[in-house]
Amino acid sequence: MLSFRIVVILLFAVQIDFFMAKMESVISLKTGDNAPGFNLKGIDDKMHSLDDYSKKGLLVIFMCNHCPFVKAKIEAIKELHDKFKDDISIVGINSNDSVKYPDDDFESMKAVAKEKGLEIDYLVDETQEIAKKYGAVCTPDPFLFDSEKKLIFHGRIDDAMNPEAEVSEKVMINNIEKFLNGEKIEKDFDPSIGCSIKWKEQQT
């Protein structure tokens, strides 16, 4: 009986820890703001800067390897790449503390991308300065910019707000299609939900 109680308590503690780590996007960059610059190493071992991307739009997704919310969106990210690769550059940025979370280290980024067939540029933000400049707080936390690198949408990939949830609306696909068709994105902030970014030190 005692062992059963211990198991229940441990499961409850894990559940609390999971939901405490769950966060929602917040507004930092506003619609029309310029994308902060970056120069980050990618899993191809090359440096990638903001100026490298010159298509009609740029989608920057703060993401990682271990978060169940990100894992649940990998196929959706691949769909975005396959559908819009001629018009939209997609960049994944991993800002997590890989010392405390070794599943998010650089070599693991390479392994996950290869295993999942992820063809986007996947970059590491070792100093976490880029996440702070963008105001990213969770994974995934996507930012969509136009050809002039001005923010046009900050928010969710789809409306499945938990890893097990079913998708009924492909929010990012719909908004990119509106953008490419010259239509206005009515809801320019539609917060994503995911794991908190794992900061090296407490944010101030």
Q: Specify the pLDDT at position 202.
A: 58
pLDDT digits (tens, 9 = 90+) for 36-83: 999 999 999 999 999 999 999 999 999 999 999 999 999 999 999 999
pLDDT at 12 over 80: no
Q: Pick from 61, 75, 35: which is nearest to 121 by CA? A: 61
CB atoms within 10 A of CB 38: 20
Report the alpha-carbon distance of residue 64 to residue 199 in Å, rounded: 13
Annotated domain spans of the chain: 2-196
Rounded to an integer, the average pLDDT of 154-173 is 97
What are the tokens at 62?
């703060």
Q: CA torsion angle for 12, 74, 99, 25 (degrees, to 10)?
A: -70
Report the alpha-carbon distance of residue 176 to residue 158 in Å, rounded: 12
pLDDT digits (tens, 9 = 90+) for 101-120: 999 999 999 999 999 999 99
pLDDT at 17 over 50: no
Question: What is the model's pTM?
Answer: 0.89
- Of the pLDDT bands very low, low, confident and very high (cuts 50, 70, 90), residue 19 is very low
Contact indicator for 135, 189 with CB cutoff of 8 Å: no
Q: Pick from 128, 173, 152: which is nearest to 32 by CA? A: 152
Would you say domain 2-196 falls under CATH 3.40.30.10?
Answer: yes
Apex 71 CA angle, 65 and 74, nearest 5 = 100
pLDDT digits (tens, 9 = 90+) for 71-105: 999 999 999 999 999 999 999 999 999 999 999 99
DSSP 115: H
Q: Specify the pLDDT at position 116.
A: 97
Handedness of CA 129, 133, 138, 141 (dihedral sign): negative
pLDDT at 13 over 50: no
Mean pLDDT of the chain: 91
